[in-house]
Chain A
Amino acid sequence: MSTTENPTSHESDNTPESFEDPGLPYHRPRRADVDPKAEKKAERQVAALFGVSIVGTVVAIGSYMALDMTDEIDSIRFVNMAIGIGIFLAMIGIGFGAIHWAKTLMRDHEMVEERHELRSSEEGRAGAIQNLKDGAEDSGISGVKRRPVLVGTGVFAMLLAPLAILWPQIGNMGADWNTSNFGHTMWRKGMRLTRDPDGTPIKASDVTIGSAFHVIPEGLNELEHHKIEEKAKAVVLLLRLDPRDLKIPEGREDWSFDGIVAYSKICTHVGCPVALYEQQTHHLLCPCHQSTFDVSDGAKVVFGPAKRPLPQLPIAIDDEGYIIAQSDFHEPIGPSYWTRLSDTSDGLHADETEGSSH
């Protein structure tokens, strides 16, 4: 933004081509700079603010020591609020005090400092290049006595060496790496559908039209290991619709019982529990990303980011009238993944015997 003084050709007077930097503006003194009374006043204000901080520290420590917390949430909130307000005063007093000091009593007359180009000087650059050349020459990286074998093996060794640590580290982190676990759940033939979370079995007669049950497999609560992982896959929604409203997909005629259907509760979009059931429309809604499934029509997607219907759990009724599973799901539950289709086959676990979980 330098200014040029060349007069333009067609103007007779000396109009410059661009405006000239007027320089720093005139510095206006503050009241405290000229009035000793104002100066004293500012000093008192700063000291008072520091005093606020001291009071705040006393409040914080005093509240901690004097106030008792009972089991009541309100008393806990009160203690926290008292300590918090103490900390607030302790901090803000110092902060505003220091800033007020700077603004009223310290220099406010701006100073100027030159900048220097960041680029190194020519000699500096030449020196750097020379030093690197000398070093490369000394080591044999380049120059007359080049040692390409050393450089090559050295670089290769250094690239390889981290693997000595990373390989076992990463290798151990994925447990057994058996990702085919994504493909099945603990549901088996004959396993009863039970209530979440207490695990009591459900009779078909309990399920009235319009009702919805959150379901876990029988025996889930007794699992010693991987209970939460199994639950994350096996949760089911059990619903009963008026059979006249129910459009049953082809091949699934015997998967439901008198309007009672069971669908995986895990969204096929990205795995949230599809927990909201709208009785009037028979729609299931995922509260995370609002994928909406129509239960009366094979749980197909009617809105939102999911693409596939919720997997259906084939059910039947046992001799005592309880609802049981016919098999595991016939496809992986939850969100899609690369090898999902190879884990999908109709009647995947149909031949498995009842009851036992892995």
Chain B
Amino acid sequence: MGARVNTAAAGTANWVDERTSIGGFVKFFARKLFPDHWSFMLGEIALYSFVVLLLSGVFLTAFFVPSMDIVTYEGPLATMQGVEMSKAFESTLHMSFEVPGGLLMRQIHHWSALLFTAAIVTHMARVFFTGAFRKPRELNWLVGFTLMILSLAAGFSGYSLPDDVLSGNGLRIIEGVTRSIPIVGEYISYWIFGGEFPGEILIPRLFTMHILLVPGLILVLVALHLFLVFLHKHTQYPGGGRTDKNVVGLPLFPVYTAKAGGFFFVVFGIIALVAAIFTINPVWNYGPYDPSPVSAGTQPDWYILFVDGALRLMPGWLFDVIPMEWEIWGYTLSLNLLIPALIMPGLFFGFVALYPWIESWATGDRGEKHVLDRPRNAPVRTGIGVALITFYVILVMEGSNDIIANLFHLSLNDLTYFFRIGIFVLPVLAFWITRRLCIGLQRKDRELVLHGKETGRIVRHEHGEYQEVHEPLTDHERWVLVSYDDISPLEIEPEYNDRGVRRKGYRWDRFKQRLSRIYFEKRISPVTPEELEAAKHEHH
């Protein structure tokens, strides 16, 4: 039988190959090597939760009615009987309470959306802190960045579809922010909502965006993202035998087919378990959208929380005297909305998107980088990353300030005052502390290389001196600690040449030099063999 299967497989393979020349692709892909590390799984989690989103989303579209027509509820849920609601909300209740497994699919969909965004952000953090965005991967960083923005759009548009009172208030916030845009804001708001808020057309429009436009774009960009990963070959952590010119790892077939393929099922299984046990977004408790009620302690999904936090943080009056809403020549400029909801996210995301270029100006390095940095060996980058995270987390915390205040019996107003100062002070502090910690860890690495590991064995010398025995590192252990680039600040040509003529491009060079000094002025160089020799002599 085995032989028969073999001939059948060979026959099919031959048939396909003669029509597609797929043989070449299979030869190229089958034994392609991937390095092994747990942190490389973060991007996989994002990809797999997206697949789960597609699968569960198809289930939901079979029951969801994207309509804002008003109906009176007559279903089984006692608390909602006789309540007027949109068909969108009614169909959400229907699929939750009358379709077996429907609630589960809704919860699988919602949980995987939360996991999707969380995995993307964590994956980005991994790429950032290990320097995996450096040449030649800058473009793929941008592709990934765009995917992150799209995941927010996908999440928010989906969150709004059930037309419940929570998401409706979220949309009203979006409407208010949109309207605050100078000159065109009112028209953009009319364009989005088809007239005044909330209108009768928004849910169908969001539905198209949520199930067609955004996932379509995500699919295309995921394909591009993965294509570039294959083209660039995966990065690897430093270690013996791993260089910028090779990849050390295991083959796609069978090892990663089994490991990564299996991991998809693990991710799916865990999402299913969480969705089976933990309720999420119980819209039947909130009720259908009505512009009048709202309850305290209402938070958007976590990925929008930072914008909500910024909206809470921004004072309407600065120091109670300077208004943050200006009336100029009869027009109104709402800085209390524009700054937190548009300018701040714009600058934050803009900086993140452009970071690979900022750093490459500082290093002035033109070569391809395939061996990852240990975060401590890039103290300024690591510091910037932690500062960005601190900034973000403060906004997330301010977005939950009512819950925090309740939980810890604090004054909500004091918390906001604290975060208003903290948003400026704490990221700077975080940068400074992180950079110091990195430098400290680098010093510890030097210490290890020079003097070896502590063994805990104390010996007494003939002349009575006690000393702990240090065990030297193995070649492999040492190599990880010493094999990083020692980059010195950029040297630039002088402003005037020897004939006193001012050089073109000097200002740009000087900017890059300043950047470079910020990055590399304070640095710890890796141990050289010479230093190690000297340290050995010192011991005896």
Contact = CB atoms under 8 A, between A and B. Distances in A.
B262 to A, nearest CB: 3
Interface string A237-280: 00000000000000000000000000001000111110110000
Interface in B401-434: 401-402, 412-413, 416
A231 B196 CA distance: 11
B530 A8 contact: yes
Contacts, number: 352
B101 A98 contact: no
A167 interface: no
Nearest to A227: B70
A176 B255 contact: no
A25 to B, nearest CB: 5
B324 A307 contact: yes
A118 B268 CA distance: 36
A335 interface: yes
Interface string A125-142: 000000000000000000
Interface string B334-345: 101100110000
B199 A229 contact: yes
Nearest to B232: A118
B452 interface: no
Contact of B334 (A15, A226, A265, A335): A335
B231 to A, nearest CB: 7
Contacts of A82: 276
Contacts of A229: 195-199
B259 A117 contact: no
B273 A88 contact: yes
Given A265-B292, A291-B316, A305-B311, A272 B169 contact: yes
Nearest to B231: A118
A97 interface: yes
Contact of A84 (B104, B248, B479): B104
A1 B246 CA distance: 12
Contacts of A307: 316-317, 323-325, 334, 336
Interface in B194-238: 194-199, 231-233
Interface size on A, as a range, is: 35 or more
Interface in B35-65: 36
Contacts of B189: 179
Contact of B336 (A64, A76, A269): A269
Contacts of B267: 95
B291 A273 contact: yes
A218 interface: no
A357 to B, nearest CB: 15
A84 B323 contact: no
A196 B256 CA distance: 61
Interface string B298-309: 100000000010
Contacts of A341: 327, 330-332
Contacts of A92: 265-266, 269-270, 273
A272 B244 CA distance: 55
A196 B294 CA distance: 13
Contacts of A106: 254-255, 258
B515 to A, nearest CB: 25
Interface stretch (A108-116, A157-165, A203-211): A108-116
A113 B104 contact: no
A216 interface: yes
Given A115-B244, A228-B198, A17 B529 contact: yes
Contact of B272 (A87, A94, A233): A87
A91 interface: yes
A111 B323 CA distance: 65
B440 interface: no
Contact of A235 (B291, B371, B401): B291
Interface in A305-358: 305-308, 334-342
B197 to A, nearest CB: 6
B263 interface: yes
Given A336-B180, A337-B185, A305 B259 contact: no
13 contacts: A1-B243, A17-B528, A67-B100, A81-B277, A84-B276, A95-B264, A97-B262, A110-B249, A111-B251, A117-B368, A179-B187, A303-B413, A338-B333
Given A94-B265, A305-B311, A338-B185, 9 more contacts: A64-B100, A73-B97, A80-B100, A92-B266, A95-B268, A179-B187, A228-B289, A290-B401, A305-B314
Interface of A: 1, 8, 11, 13, 15-19, 21-25, 64, 67, 69, 71, 73, 76-77, 79-85, 87-99, 101-103, 106-108, 110-115, 117-118, 170, 173-177, 179, 181-182, 196-197, 214, 216, 226, 228-229, 231-233, 235, 265, 269-273, 275-276, 287-291, 301, 303-308, 334-342
7 cross-chain pairs, A with B, having the tightest CB-CB distances, nearest first: A84-B276, A98-B262, A95-B265, A91-B269, A92-B269, A95-B266, A270-B176
